[in-house]
Amino acid sequence: NGTDPIDSTLNKAAIGLTTRGDMVYHDANGLQRRAVGAANTIVQSDGTDPQYQVPLAAHIEVVELSGATYDDIQDYINFFGVRTVLSGGTLTDAGSGVVAVASLTGWVKATDSETAAGVFFNYGGASTGTLTDLTTHHIYLDYNGGTPQLVTATDHTTHGLKLDHIHLGTAYRAGATMHFHQSDNIGIGGINRTNMHHVEEEAAHRVSGILATGTGTRNLVITTGVLYEGLSRHTTDALNTSVAGTFSYWYYDGDLGPAAWVEVTGQTAISRTQYNALATGLASLGTNRYGVHWLYIDIDGEDFHVVYGQGNYKANEAIDADVPSSLPDIVTNYGVLLAKIICQEGTDTLIISYPWTSAFKSSLATDHGNLAGLADDDHAQYQKETDFTAGSVLFRGSSVITEDNSNLFWDNINKVLGIGTNTPASSAKLYVGGDIFLINSGGDPRIVLGDSTGAGNWGGIRWDSSSDYIGIGTQANIDAIVIKEAGDVGIGTNNPGTKLEILNAGDQLKLSFDGTDNVIFAVDTNGVLTIT
């Protein structure tokens, strides 16, 4: 009621505390009344007297080292905020090559500076200018010192790194049709979105280490290393199955009811005898065939899994083999592929390659100059040079490469091919020890003799199947001489009616002793024979 004894001591005037929440404070003149402040205000000192004020982020301290340049909540907001649209900002096609942006609330830096204040703001919405046809545009909201405006660019780096610009979406104009995609309003979920980005790309990925090698007895040695699952970092365990530790083998068994993946735990060595025949489970590798095995590690970095390959491979097939399309869930969604391991049936050597690049790279060097071991003849699918006779021309028989030295022979000294003989005459280029059949399945067969002096300089022998005769001639007259099936010979005609028929408009036959001593036989149009 203003008559408290303190009044008479410090201030002769009565102080009336009339409202709930009023308080007394001391200023230069003594005790004073401070009326209760508005809702959501607190009492703060201005350095002299207390005042009711809205609390400012710049006045609220965070834990810091003494003397830190940035030390309050406003500083924290400035440096750890994410430029984003918080609500609104829907994109629509406004027609005529224009994109409309609805009103929105956002957060952004006041200027393009790391130390600038982070600010919340509202924007009333607007439309872009007319976008260039057949071109992709990136649409941004520029804070513009407190007067937000829309800007566009055809290169995403034009505004993409500016801290006072918010990416609203991307648009492509195709004439009157507008294709556009609105950016997600990430806001405070930015870090989680980054984590999900990585997890959706792959369950986890290797960063370093985790290298697998063999011991010579098909045991595995795997070094420690680092995995990332999204943004989470895992250090992996080392493994040496020749000393301690095991891995699980996996195969698919279609015979089970129902068909399922089978895990075989406690394994220490890569199999050299089996592969996964999906319909029936495990099956035996063929002689000298290759098994392919796929090595995985759990995301937690503690457990290892090997999936049997699904082929009874030849060497080249094993090298080309890719990761099976069907895999157990534990390696698909909770594992990282470490290596592809190839092991030949019955051997202890492991060929290990790593998937760190787009193609598998072998961990072993290939020495094409080292052919040691081929003479051992322990590969049934290959034949040695010493299996064949010198001079043989090789051909494929019923199932393998073979020879017939007595009937198909190459004399490499005289460069002569012998057919039907292995002793061709050295003066011939082709020596045939038997009949020759020349068959032309596409037409009448012929033998053409020519030189290289020009096109058309040739002679030949041909068989005319429609008229049953052999014709001998040149490029100018292919039937200069014919021999009919009955033995009739024609010169100048391909249809002789007697054993010898000579057809010519002038002299038909000339018998000569030398260039001047001769006799000529001629038949005129009346059939009169003249001998001169």
Residue 344 maps to a domain: yes
Q: Tell me, what amino acid is at 148?
A: P
pLDDT in tens, 446-492: 787 776 555 557 788 888 888 888 888 887 788 888 898 888 888 88
pLDDT in tens, 151-206: 999 998 899 989 999 999 999 999 999 999 888 877 666 677 787 888 888 888 89
Residue 481 maps to a domain: yes
Same domain, 139 and 221: no
Same domain, 235 and 309: yes
DSSP characters over 338-375: EEEEEEETT---EEEEETTSSS-EESS---TT--TTGG
pLDDT of residue 429: 67
C-alpha to C-alpha distance for 115 and 119, rounded to whole angstroms:
12
**Helices and strands, number each (H, E), in the chain:** 5, 43
Same domain, 451 and 471: yes
Same domain, 32 and 153: no
387: which residues sit within 8 A by CB, 6+ positions away?
A: none
Residue 34 maps to a domain: yes
**DSSP SS3 for 124:** coil
pLDDT in tens, 401-457: 888 888 888 888 888 888 888 887 776 666 677 777 777 777 788 787 776 555 557
Burial of 218 (0-12, 13-18, 19+ CB in 10 A): buried
DSSP characters over 228-275: EETTEEEEPPPEETTTB--EEEEEEETTSSS-EEEEEEEE-B--SSEE
Same domain, 297 and 319: yes
pLDDT in tens, 269-322: 999 999 999 999 999 999 999 999 999 999 888 999 999 999 999 999 999 999
Same domain, 218 and 114: no
Residue 196 maps to a domain: no
Same domain, 341 and 214: yes
404: which residues sit within 8 A by CB, 6+ positions away?
A: 392, 395
Q: What is the largest CA-CA distance in the chain?
A: 179
Residue 441 to residues 133, 438, 444, Cα–Cα distance (Å): 63, 10, 8
In this predicted structure, the answer to whether residue 63 has a pLDDT above a threshold of 80 is no
313: which residues sit within 8 A by CB, 6+ positions away?
A: 275, 289, 290, 291, 292, 321
Between 108 and 16, the more confident residue is: 108
Within 10 angstroms of residue 161's Cβ, the number of other Cβ atoms is 9
Q: Which domain holds residue 175?
A: 83-185
In this structure, the chain runs to a length of: 532
Same domain, 155 and 233: no
pLDDT of residue 358: 46
In this predicted structure, the answer to whether residue 12 has a pLDDT above a threshold of 50 is no
